[in-house]
Each structure stands twice: as C-alpha cells, then as structure tokens.
Structure 1
Amino acid sequence: MTGGGRPDRERVVVTGVGVKSPAGTTVKESLAALLAAESAATTIPELTRAGAVVDFGCTVPEFGRESYLTPKEMRQIDRLNALAIAAAMDAVADSGPHWPASPGRSGVFVGTGIGGLGTMELAAMTHQHRPHRIPAFTVLRVMNSSPAARISARLGVSGLTLTFSTACASGATAIGEAVRRIRSGELTTVLAGGVDAPLTPLVVSAFAAMRALSTRMDVPHEACRPFDDDRDGFVMAEGAAFVVLERLDHAMERGARVYGEVAGYGVNTDTGDLVSPSADGGVAAEVIAMALADAALSPGDIGHVSAHGTSTVLNDRSEARALELIFGEACPPVTAPKGVVGHMIGAAGAFEAAMALLLAREGLVPPVANFRAGRDADRIDLVSGAPRRIPVKPALSTSFGFGGQNTCLVVVPAP
C-alpha cells in the first residue's frame, strides 16, 4: 500500500466494487461521467404529473433488472431493493469467485437514509381507500432492513446482517462499522454499502419544503453546483453502491485483486442543529482528524478530498472551513461528486468513498460540475474545468447527514 496501514491491527482491504448510480450502471461508466463533470440531473415526468414541488432529479439508467432478479422477485421487489441487490451482486462478482468463503464469518452491512419510505408512500396513495387490497409483501418492501436481509439470503451469509440509518452518512457509516468488525476479528469479510430510492412526489416535496433542494426546474443539469456562489440546494438522486471488504491476509490467500485499504474511520455528532452544521466547521474538522488519526496519517499524506459538497450554502461553507482547519494553506485538491450524480442520500457516502479510492489509484481528481466561482471555495483547492493529475496517495471522503451524523473515511490505494 502507498501510505497508511498500522502494524498493530488487522488491515481491511477492498476487493470488489459495484454501483448503480445516475452516472452509470457500472464502475467504469460512473468514473467516466465524474471525470467529464457531466450532470445526470433531468426532469422526471412522474414527478411533474404528480405535481411535486420540484420535478427533477438524478435517476439510475436502465440496468437490466431481469439479469439480477427471478420472475418472482421482479413482482415482489421495489426499486430500493432492486438497486441494492444489483449493486451488491456486481460487487461480489468483482471480488472473485471465492467470496464469501466462510458464510458464518461474513456479513452484510447496508446503510439507508430513506429506506422504504417511498414504497410506503406509494402503498398509502394507491390503497388508502381500500386497505384490504394492500399486497401481502408490502411490509417486506418498506422495512429498512429489507435490502440487507435479501442480499444476505441471496449470498447465504449467516454472520451479521445489519442496517444503519445515519441520514446522508448511512453508506459511509456501514463501511466504517464493517471495518471495525473485521479489525476486531469478529468477521473476515463484509459486503458493505448504501442504497436509497427517494424520487417520489411526497419525499421530494418534503425535502423541498425544507428549502434543501435546488428549484432550477428550467435547467436541472445546471442545478447542483457545490461550493459555487450561485448554489441554491441539492438535487435528489437514487442509487446504490457496495464494496467487498476483507482482511488483507484473507484476500491474499484467495488470490483476490486488491483495490486498496480502508485505513481510517471517524464518526461524531454535531449537536448544534438537526439540519444545519456548525458554522465554524469545528465538528466536521474533528471527524476528519479522527479518521486521519485512525489511519495513522497526517494531513500532508492526503492526495485529494472527496467532499460531501451538497450544493447547499450552509453545508458547503461549513465543510470548506473544516478543510481549512485541517489542511491550512496546504489543502489537497478537492472534488464534489454530487455535482454529477446528485445526492443519493444513504448511498452517497459509499459511492463517493469507492470512487475516491478508484480515482486515487489512477492519480486523477474530477472537476466539480457546474462550478464557476465561489468565495467559500477560496478556502480550499477546488478542482474545476478539467480533471487534475496528482500523485498516487491516500484520499479522504466526508459525509455529513441531517441530525448531525458525521462520518469520514480514509482510503489508501494499492500499488
């Protein structure tokens, strides 16, 4: 590994990655879209017809559900579970033919911020006047633990199956907690990541009522603009992202390809406000410092930062100040994937950490989509216009959720 790694504990590596994102249904497509800074935001006819307050978002392109699901599952499974299963199966396939080698020592950790709320909305709207017609499998759709349970059943995993709901940090939390379980020796391998499918009229309108969403309905592809002075909110998105994590020696024994290591994990809570981060960036800086300490790295070891960068005024400002507190005038290049893919809520942190690792391996930092100029960006080294070539070094990925849920991951690329 290039930097990172502590001799006093088990090292946890990434051997498989699977995504179903608005930027693409494969890892290769998603990376290409990030590097091209091509926004996936578009008008969604279903939202328009339903009279949603905001009628655009970032959707996952057609991904061939029939190749992942049985005919029975096709009838029973909702969008949330279909995205989760597809991305999870891609990650497992990418990790090689011998995972999980020991089902009882393996786990499935899934993060979701919205869970089955969209499916509950649909059931309520469709059957509010005829509750006796609600399908029998509705409960299995709406429970937040459904994706983890279905994935575990598919893989025959008999170890831990856990669901994490820490708002927009859920996917990153699932990865970080999986790392802890592997380090402790409790598990050998974990499939970890996040999923959400929140593009329904009531869910989108509820976020719009908070004034969290951009309202640029005439130019949706220009709506999400992290750290830009003209930002007015984030763009809601759906998606799923998973990684296969395992103990380094286990990966080497089975001859797995290693993308890199999850070397650092930090988590804390900003108790100042349920929806607004601390203005001085202090709490966010603390969680970054925790992840760096966990990885036994210094700020100067970081090659680039994948920022949470929601395109909301308060979040971006707080995050820029946090990075300034950590790095000072020596801030590494900073990118913000949500300018391309929108905010995938529970999947965001998992997707961004996985992409940060893969981009660090290539020594590339994507430009931030739709960025023109921003005073908050003056505090950091924001990449814009074109991808930037950098040395192959560790990367840092931040996730900050409603409720003050903060998570930071440090990933180290393999040589």
Structure 2
Amino acid sequence: MTALPIIVGMGGINAAGRTSFHQGFRRIVIDKLNAEARQETFVGLATLMNLLTSQDGKLVDQDGNVVDKADVEQQFGEEILAGTLIRKIENEHFDPDATPWQQKLTMDVGDQGITFETRARDLPKPLPRTWKVTELEEKRVRVEIAGEIEVKHDSTRDNPIKAAGQLPTGFKPASMYNSRYQPRGLQATIFGAADAIHSTGYSWNEIADKVSPDEIGTYSASVFGQTQAEGVGGMMQNRLKGERVSTKNLALGLNTMPTDFVNAYVTGNVGTTFTSTGACATFLYNLKAAVQDIQAGRIRLAIVGSNDCAITPEVVEGFGNMSALANEEGLKKLDGNGIADHRNTSRPFGDNCGFTIGEAAQFIILMDDALALELGVNVLGSVADVYTNADGIKKSITAPGPGNYITMAKSVALAAAIVGEESIQQRSFILAHGSSTPQNRVTESLIYHRIAESFDINNWPVAAPKAYVGHTIGPASGDQVAMALGIFAHNIMPGITTIKKVADDVHNERLNIATEHWDCHNMDVAFINSKGFGGNNATATLLSPDVTLSMMEKRHGKDKMASYEEKTVAVEQARATYQEQANNGEFQLIYRFGDGTLMDDDITLSTEDIGVTGFANKIQLPKNNPFNDMI
C-alpha cells in the first residue's frame, strides 16, 4: 500500500496574520465571517500586533486598561485592518520615500587644496595619487590634497516601489524568545514551526515517540537566504560601510538555515534533513520530497516549510530593475487618477503592472495515514502528490514555458483517478500562482483554460492569495496551501477584490475568477500551482478533510475509524487550549538552544540498531540486500 500523507498541523505568519486555525485566511475574508469568528480574528490579531496583552485572563491595552473582547473591533479594528495585508513599506524595513544609498561625488578642491589631520592608521591603502602626507607627532599625519577627489556621500532617494506584503505591524518574533541577533526570517521560522507543532494538539516529543528517530524528516528552505544585516546583508555590506563582518553573517545567510534551525532548536530531529530551492515553487519542492518519502515508507512524520523575509532595498531594487514589481508610475497610470493605491498594488488576472513582494514563514506537519489514525489527530487535508517540471530551452530565464502544462495536467488527472471526474468538474478549485504581472495573467490563465477544456471543466474557481499577502517567494506556495485549507474549513472562496474586473486578455471562458468573496459548497480537491523563475514549475493535488477521512475509512475499516474518533476528543481539547492561548498572544515558542545537546556517549551501537539518548525507539540498521537479484 502507498501511504497517504495527511496534513495534521499548520503554522506560520504572513501579512494576513498567524497561519494556525486559519487566522490569516479569516483576515482575508473578514467581511464574510460570522460574528463569533470575526471577533476571534480581531482579538487574535490585536494580541499578535501587541495592541493588547493578556494579563490574569484579561485583555489589557498599552495603557493598562482592560478591554472586553466584544469591544476589540470597535477600538482597534481600523488599526488592525490598516496594519495587515499589503500596505506601504514601513520604516522597520526601510523608508521608501528616502531610501539610503551612497552618492558618488567628484570634487575639485580648487587652488587652495584641502588639508586635514588624522591618525596614520586611518589612511586608505593605497594612497590616492593626489594626496601628500606629512608625519606628525603621536602617530598622526597631515594630508594635503590637490586636484580632484572622489568620495561617496550618504544620500537618499525616492524609491519608485513603496508597497509590500509585510508581517502585521507590531509583530515582534524577536521578543518572544532569546533570538540572539538572528535574522528576521529565522525568527519567523521559529515562530512558524512552533505554531504548526502546537496546532496538532500534541507536543513534538509525544508524536516522535511513536516512530523511529530515522522515520522523521525536516524539509525546508529559503530562496534568498537571510538578506538582513544579521545574515548575508551584513556579509555583503559591512566592509563597504566601514564595519566588520561578524562570525554569524555567512552561516545564518545560508538557504538551508530554516531546516537547520528547526532541527537544532525546535524538534531535535536526527532523521532526514532536506533543503531544495526552486524559486517561487520552493515550498512545493520541499513538500514533494516529504510526500515521496512518506509514500515510500522512508519516513512517517515530517515538518515542511519555507521562509523569506526579504523586504530590503537591495532585493526590492533587484526585482524593480527587472520591471517585475508594481511601481508608483505604473499604478498611477493604471488608475488614471494620479494616486498610487498601496493597498491594491497586487492585481492577479486584472489590469496590472507587476507583482508586490511579501514576507512569510509557512510550515505544515505531515504524517502517514496509519500514524494519524493511531494518534487521533485533526485532519486538515492530505497531499496526493506534487509534480515538478521544467520549461526546456528558453530565450529568457524568467519567461514562462511548457512545464506548467505538464504539472497541472498530471495533478488534475491524478485527482480524477482518485475522486472521479465529477468531483474535479464540480468540486475542485485552483490556488493560482497569480503573480500580478501582465505576462502571468495571460500565460497562466491559458494553461487553466486548456486543462479545463481537456477535462470538460466549466466555471472553475480560481483564487489568488498574492492579491492580499504579496509574493513571498520561497513560502509563496505555502501561502496558497494555507488558503486552500481555509477554503476547505470555511466554505468561503476568496475573490480577487483588488481588481475591478478580469483583464480582457485573460483566458477565463471556463474559469470563475471572482472579484468578491463568495460562499461555496464543500470542495473535494485543491490544485496548488506555482510558476517559478527559471522554469521551476510545481503543482500539488490537495484532498479535502472529508475525502481524506473517507479514504482512511476505506483502507482501515469502520472499527478503527470509530476508535480514531474517540481519540480525537482529547486532541481537540488540546488544540482548543492552544488556539485560545495563541489568540491571547501566548504562543509558547519552542527554542531549545543547547537543551539536550547530544554527545558521543549518547550513541549506543550494535550490528542491529543504534540507540540515541532522548529518543524512545532505536534506529534499525539495514539487513536486506535491495540488489539481491544483481548479486
């Protein structure tokens, strides 16, 4: 039998808020929620954004006043809505109206020249040819300059790109644990991984004790590494700024760090460790590896994720100079009113002028169906498979190609084989890459149109989370997975409310690209699609909780499912406890710095197995020759 990878937990953070318990999804569709869910969402965001804190079971504002949950929206609703989703770049990242840079300046010193004194050790090497140096006392020198001198002077510029999908205003992961000057993306990784684990209703050790240590895996990556000053940003900039490169800059900037941080500081994993980078499809690339390992029986438990927090002047300028990002001039031209709408810069499948960068960390917990049954965990959905295909020969490395036709067609065909043609025709939807570029809206919609023709699908719902949270690069398809699970749970299909209408060149004859959120019936399948730079195409087939539970019952029988249902009661209580704590701002971040460090003496060896201190089960060593027919 092929094991079915079940999604039993999810966590993280993006511009819409916390991922667990669908907070981020609820923020996006806030106007479609019932009163109870709406209130819970506003309370959770208020504490996430440090507008309120929980003290002795009561919510308290920054002035120490007690605030009733029913009054949170009235008092803080406008601030919460303004401080989430895509918005003008906040000074925490950089000032888009006055972005720092070094202006080159050539000065003619005139007939009198320039004379100054300094310490001898501060002289540049080699000396400029126009400098004359005279030694003075106490290791000082006098410098006389004639002719011209070139200098670089601190300056600012008006950045043409001013909006991004930023983490909620006031969210400070560094203050939640001893972050030790770690880059923002790794702080978000610690938050996201812990959030995902707690959302299962179990501690990590409680789950891990049910399997062998080598049946656990961590699959994660970032695309840019960590571009802030604490990571590769510092390594690249510090010497040019007259500062030293730290011992941490290079190491913390590696794109493997999300995986390494989860292993070393969150789970203590000694099993499979995996990092794959596939541009905008990075989350799905890592998900594919985990899914294949679970299906093959190599692992039984996985944490899968990605982070990118790269809202820096350098990254923004890099994309901007490729004409990839929506800029002020383009937005003003689109709307024709001389105003750039920073809330609605990302407009998938509408009249648009480029994508909007975002930041996020997204993680999910996967396990095989037998382990899910044994533990009674909550089933959020399952992953039937993930397909990745390249584009072949290109003229431009960033241009789209045929690979996405292959990934989408395979995913839809697989779903039809599992749930039947009627399900994909009536109860499936697409979480589109939807980057918000003029080229993407045409090429991606054409793929969906042609696939819909092939499988006789009409009015195929298409949602696009980048309209709300921006393009988070590595974790972008994790944002899409989170939205898909929200749709399964709430039966609300998010429209693309940042556009007034679908663009005329979009191939939407068979698609339902709505401009408003709408209530949908129970869905069976979600297709998570990603089109990455360089030809990194990926599509995942996600099955709904109802479909997943039905498949589990068919495989394991009604008696085992009845036992499973009994176990879910205690698990749901634990999940509800964490949900309440998280909504009150009590996130219980897991950061095991040096806690349980393993030494040589913690390993016991025999010809049969390996024992590791702290793990309940031993690792069995291979005994069979897999190539017996070749010997």
Aligned residues: 400
Structure 1, residues 162-213: CA drift from partner, whole Å, max 9, x if none? 1111000001111122101111111111100111011000111000011110
CA positional deviation for 1:377: 5.3
The whole-number CA distance in structure 1 between the counterparts of 2:161 and 2:238 is 21
Letter aligned with residue 214 of structure 2? G
Match of 1:82 among 187, 190, 196: 187
Report the Cα offset of residue 406 of structure 1.
0.5
Q: Does 1:378 align with 2:508?
A: yes
Q: What displacement does 1:106 show?
A: 0.7
Unmatched tracts of structure 1, length 5 or more: 1-7
Partners of 2:283 and 2:306 within 8 A in 1? yes
Q: Does 1:352 align with 2:480?
A: yes
State the partner residue of 2:369: 248
1:410 to 541, 544, 549: 541
Task: Kindly provide the CA deviation profile for residues 19-59 of structure 1, in whole angstroms up to 9, marking residues without a partner as x.
Answer: 20101124433111222498822222314232444232111
1:274 to 389, 397, 402: 397
Change (3 A) 1:353 1:274: same
Structure 1 residue 326: Cα displacement: 1.0
Equivalence map 1:278-289=2 (5 Å) = 278=401, 282-289=402-409
The answer to whether the 8 Å contact 1:395/1:411 transfers is yes
Q: Which residue of 1 aligns with 2:201?
A: 96
Maintained 8 Å contact 2:279/2:536:
yes
User: In 1, Cα distance between the equivalents of 2:218 and 2:497?
Assistant: 33
Q: 1: distance between equivalents of 2:390 and 2:459? A: 24
- For 2:303, the aligned partner's letter is L
| Counterpart for residue 445 of structure 2 | 320
Q: Structure 1 vs Structure 2: percent identity of aligned residues? A: 25
TM-superposition CA deviations, 1:288-337 (whole Å, max 9, x none): 11223444346652321111100011112111011111112514211111
Structure 1 residue 76, shift from structure 2 partner: 3.1
Q: Which residues of 2 match residues 203-242 of structure 1 at below 5 A?
A: 203-216=315-328, 218-228=340-350, 230-242=351-363
Closer, same or farther: CA 411–402 of 1 in aligned 2, 3 Å: same
- State the distance in 2 between where 1:314 and 1:284 align: 14
Name the aligned partner's letter for residue 539 of structure 2. C
Q: Compare 36-45 and 146-155 and name the one that shifted more.
A: 36-45
Is 2:431 the partner of 1:306? yes
Aligned-partner residue type, residue 250 of structure 2? V
CA RMSD of aligned residues (A): 2.1
Q: Is the 8 A contact 2:88 2:343 kept in 1?
A: no
User: Is 1:394 aligned to 2:394, yes or no?
Assistant: no
**What amino acid is aligned across from residue 312 of structure 1 in structure 2?**
T
Cα contact 1:242–1:351 (8 A) shared by 2 = no
Q: In the alignment, what sits opposite 1:139?
A: 250
The equivalent residue for 2:25 is: 31
Alignment partner of 1:99: what SS? Answer: helix
1:400 alignment partner, SS class: strand
1:105 Cα offset (Å): 1.4
Whether the 8 Å CA contact 2:221–2:258 is kept in 1: the answer is no
Matched, 1:368 2:496: yes
The 10-residue stretch of structure 1 (292-301 or 324-333) with the greater mean CA deviation from structure 2 = 292-301
Which portions of structure 1, spanning 4 or more consecutive aligned residues, are displaced by more than 6 angstroms?
A: none
Counterpart secondary structure, 2:27: helix
Preserved contact between residue 10 and residue 19 of structure 2 (Cα < 8 Å): no
1:238 and 1:66, CA in 2 relative to 1: closer, same or farther beyond 3 A? Answer: closer
**Higher alpha-carbon deviation: 120-129 or 171-180:** 120-129
8 Å Cα contact 1:114-1:167 kept in structure 2: no
Amino acid across the alignment from 1:32: R
